[in-house]
Amino acid sequence: MMLSTKNVDFQRRETWEEYSKATSVFNGFFGIIAMVAYNAANEANDAYEGTPEYRHQTKKAFKTSQEAWARLWRTARRLFEDKYAVYADFITMAAEDMSADLQKLYLAVHASLLKQDIKDTDRKAWVYAADMLAHELTAIYQRFVRQITEETRREIIGKSFRWADPTHITNCAHDCVRAVATRDVMMDENVMLALEIIARKALSSEYQDESAIKALSLKGNEEFKEQMAESIEEFQKHKDERIRQEQEANDNYWSERQKQRQKQRQRRRKGRQETLTTDTIAARLGERFNVTRT
């Protein structure tokens, strides 16, 4: 259950401030990676639903997985109340912008399965991808709760995020793998890299901010956009400054490269001049004193 002044007596203002900061951080990354994992789970379900294989334990596993995800979103809707619509827009748009990254994960898994001569690779790759993303979601969730509890030294803050515990979702995703898998498989480094890219982007504050600005620009979110006007302005200033610094760093890099190339040309030219001068002197000395170059 999320904390509020309605259900907790915050005698110390610091506790409320720390909780607010933790919630802001958590809602950013958790929602994005959860939506990406959810999209993968839907792809896996769509790949099997309505096929001859979608029966018995396989059908049960996929339906239980879908129910677990639905329960998470219902809980979020209840807790976020009037802010749920804009939050849903935020994580949906962020996940859509990461669709290419999700596709790369699928293709990496697909290639890894092909190498191991796994049959029905096209569909199974989505099941494995959904399973790995669910496990990544749980790992990140558990790490966050542990760290925020240690940093604030307030167990109540860590417990306040129990509503989002994805352990059950992860167990369901793994049940889907067991329902369609014929044997154990290994994933190569390309799969791990694709998974890492998704997690890194979801955890990026800059990516989260970009997605939030896009969500606030959608029709129906005008009120929230107005409320966040100052933050949006600060974000734009920060973005412009970052772009300026990146351009300056790029200009400095190429300027330095140009200087280095010029120095190299000067050294080569000087080397040729010194050689020519030495040869000339040697030749003249040779004419007068019978000196030869060795």
Q: Mean of the pLDDT values across residues 86-113?
A: 94
Q: Which of 81-90, 187-196, 241-250, 281-290 has the lowest mean pLDDT?
A: 281-290
Q: What is the pLDDT of residues 188-214, one digit of tens each?
A: 999 999 999 999 999 988 888 787 677
Instruction: Give yes or no for a contact between 180 and 174, defined as CB atoms under 8 angstroms apart.
Output: no
Tell me which of 157 and 277 has the higher pLDDT.
Answer: 157
The pLDDT score that the predictor gives to residue 203 is 92
Taking the CA atoms of 89, 92, 95 and 97 in sequence, report the sign of the dihedral they define. negative
Of 221, 185, 188, 181, nearest in space to 85 by CA: 221
Whole-Å CA distances, 232 to 171, 211, 228, 229: 39, 12, 6, 5
- What does pTM read for this prediction? 0.74
| C-beta of residue 36 within 8 angstroms of C-beta of residue 44 | no
How many Cβ atoms sit within 10 Å of the Cβ of residue 142? Answer: 13
Residue 226 has pLDDT above 90, yes or no: no
Residue 143 has pLDDT above 80, yes or no: yes
- Percent share of the chain, pLDDT over 90: 55
d(CA 262, CA 259): 5
Alpha-carbon distance of 83 to 225, in angstroms, equals 12
**Pairwise pLDDT comparison (273 vs 247), residue with the higher score:** 247
Q: How far apart are the first and last CA of the chain?
A: 89
Instruction: Collect all residues with Cβ–Cβ distance below 8 Å to 224 and sequence separation of at least 6.
Output: 83, 86, 216
Q: How many CB atoms lie within 10 A of CB 293?
A: 10
The per-residue pLDDT for range 7-19, each reduced to its tens digit, is: 455 456 778 888 8
Residue 4 reports pLDDT greater than 80: no
Contacts of 8 (CB under 8 A, 6+ apart): 156
Segment 16-41 shows an average pLDDT of 93
